[in-house]
Amino acid sequence: MRAIRTAPGACGAHVAAPQAPPSPSPARRQRRTLRTIGSGLSKHFVLIVLSAMFALPLVWMIGTSFKTAGQALQMPVVWWPHPFLWSNYPDLFAALPYFRFFLNTFLYAAITIVGVCVSSSLVAYGFSRLRWPGRDAVFYVMLMTLILPFACTLIPLFVMYKRFGWIGGYLPLEVPTFFGSSVFSTFLLRQFFMTIPQTLSDAARIDGASEFYIYRRIILPLAKPAMAAVILFQFVYCWNDFLGPLVYIGDQNRYPLSLGLDLILGEYTTNWAWVMAGATAATAPIVILFFFTQRTFIQGITLTGTKG
């Protein structure tokens, strides 16, 4: 393999013609450079056109959010808001309890993040760092719940929570996370735990450390990047969650952002600038968060996605 790698003309997939002679004539080299540039340009052309198509909805959302209600409906469309209206945001926040929605969402996220971090890391530890009879079979049962449609459990859960008096609040969405309901997080952490050398645990065991000590003092500190990914994903999940609150939360004052946003469409359909201001206000924090934590995000996705 070494020999092949150092062989001239085969130093990478981008070499178009491996059978080319070692020293091509200047004209030939020029042609090849042109071709490389040409293919590079066409690649970038395709990518730029596609990027523009992907970015257009967001650009249009932000643009509309700074227009007057009338200008948003102007045809042909106005690309740059004129006048540039900031007041849609404060007006919208005054008309709807937006900060309330933000607060509710943050609280929902914070509590479930605690639940997920505690329970998923324990369970993941049990599925990766310990060997016990039946472990893999039980693990597959857990993975199976990933394909179980939520509709298959929703009605009895609703009936059960109603009996507990939990309907109307966030308990139905929060309590299960303390019992490993986030299978994705458990899976992600398990994948990460498996990459930590087993000798580390063995050494600690010889020193007489208990399994819980190893989990708490050795594995968890090493798993910080994976835990960061779990926290991020859970935050994004709560920020996005629509169905859960739709089923369980009735009082508008307790709405999370997703339901609050849905409310705007119902009440202010005539003012698209407001609707888009609401959408921007809900999107911006998560996109900004993503920009600052991109590496963690991508690593987390890679960990769950590619090693299935």
Partner 1 sequence: MQAATTRVTLTARAIRSPRARRLWLGLVFVSPWLIGYCAFYLYPFLATLYYSFTSFTGIGNPVFTGLANYSGLLHDAAFRTAVFNTFYYTIIEVPFSTVAALGLALLLNMNVRGQAVYRTLFYIPSIVPVVASSLIFVWIFQPSFGIVNDLLSDVHINGPDWFFSISWSKPTFILLGLWGLGQPMVIYLAALQGVPREMYEVALLEGAGPWQRLRKVTIPMISPVILFNVILALVLSVQYFTQAQVIESPPGSPGNSTMFYITYYYQQAFQFLHLGYASAMAAFLFAGVLIITVVLLRTSSRWVYYENEQR
231 binds partner 1 (CB under 8 A): no
User: Residue 27 or 75: which CB sits closer to partner 1?
Assistant: 75
| 18 lies in the site for partner 1, by CB under 8 A | yes
22, 27, 84, 152: residue in contact with partner 1 (rule CB under 8 A): 152
Is 261 among the residues that bind partner 1 (CB under 8 A)?
A: yes
CB of 131 to partner 1, least distance (A): 6
Query: Applying CB under 8 A, which part among 20-28, 51-59, 81-89, 94-102 lies near partner 1?
Result: 51-59
Give the distance, in angstroms, between the CA of residue 146 and the centroid of all CA atoms in the same chain.
17
Min separation Cβ 18 and partner 1, Å? 5
Using rule CB under 8 A, residue 70 touches partner 1? no
Interface residues for partner 1 in 19-38 (CB under 8 A)?
Answer: none
Contact call for residue 130 and partner 1 (CB under 8 A): yes
The least distance separating partner 1 from the CB of residue 104, rounded to whole angstroms, comes to 14
- Residue number, 29 or 44, with CB nearest to partner 1: 44
Give the nearer residue to partner 1 in terms of CB position, either 84 or 291: 291
